[in-house]
């Protein structure tokens, strides 16, 4: 009973936040609504006892991705009226994409629930680990046994993306000034400091 109430409260907040993402006038408000949407969907996953996925969603999307998003959005000087110009023109296209997505989701969920295979396949694969209720152990053993090749493949794709992003942005221009950190670290006292011995002056006015 209480769980149902909590579910509907969070679901309502999630829908509201999702609406705010596309209707808010200020881009920073949109980004923050997206944060709220992620957070509430994480809470919904916790209710479904998928604690690892729920907390990982907060850790990755709220804690890392959206922070960088906010950084970028805060630095931009976005003219809101230009963005909102095409709203009515693209509305039919957007609605069509939305309807198609809903249909696709219905197909997937309907097929999965009908034969009860979505959750059972995972449980069978990790059956021998005997992790009752601990879905972190369950996910780990499935990821590193049944799905090890797709998992490693995804890791390689991500690594490639990191390297490509760094290579694209990290061009060293010849005219920029930069410090050679290793030279700075190697400096010794003798390189910078010269001690001069001087005779003390005699105060002869007294």
> Which residues of the shown chain bind other proteins in the complex (CB under 8 A)?
1-2, 28, 32, 35, 51-52, 55-56, 58-59, 62-64, 67-68, 70-71, 74, 133-134, 136, 179, 181
What is the smallest separation between the CB atom of 1 and other proteins, expressed in angstroms?
8
What is the smallest separation between the CB atom of 139 and other proteins, expressed in angstroms?
11
Q: Which is nearer to other proteins, 113 or 136 (CB)?
A: 136
116 sits in the region (left: phi over 0; alpha: psi -120 to 50; else beta) called left
Q: Which is nearer to other proteins, 111 or 136 (CB)?
A: 136
Q: Which is nearer to other proteins, 23 or 117 (CB)?
A: 23
Tokens of 201: 């002056």
Quickly list H helices, the chain: 2-23, 27-47, 51-57, 66-75, 80-84, 87-115, 117-125, 135-145, 148-169, 181-186, 189-192
Q: Which is nearer to other proteins, 5 or 195 (CB)?
A: 5
Tokens of 68: 């960088």
């Amino acid at each position: 009973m209480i769980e149902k109430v909590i579910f509907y409260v969070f679901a309502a907040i999630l829908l509201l936040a999702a609406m705010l993402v596309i209707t808010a006038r200020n881009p920073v408000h949109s980004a923050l609504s997206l944060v709220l949407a992620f957070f509430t969907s994480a809470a919904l996953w916790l209710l479904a006892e998928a604690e690892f996925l729920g907390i990982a969603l907060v850790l990755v999307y709220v804690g890392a991705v959206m922070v960088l998003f906010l950084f970028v959005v805060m630095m931009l000087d976005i003219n809101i009226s230009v963005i909102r110009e095409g709203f009515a023109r693209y509305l039919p296209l957007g609605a069509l994409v939305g309807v198609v997505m809903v249909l696709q989701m219905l197909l997937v969920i309907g097929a999965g629930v009908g034969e009860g295979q979505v959750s059972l396949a995972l449980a069978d694969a990790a059956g021998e680990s005997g992790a009752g209720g601990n879905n972190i152990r369950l996910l780990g053993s499935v990821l590193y046994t049944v799905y090890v090749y797709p998992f490693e493949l995804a890791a390689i794709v991500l690594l490639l993306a990191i390297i490509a992003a760094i290579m694209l942005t990290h061009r060293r221009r010849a005219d920029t000034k930069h410090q050679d950190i290793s030279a700075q670290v190697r400096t010794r006292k003798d390189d910078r400091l010269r001690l001069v011995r001087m005779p003390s002056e005699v105060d002869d006015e007294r």
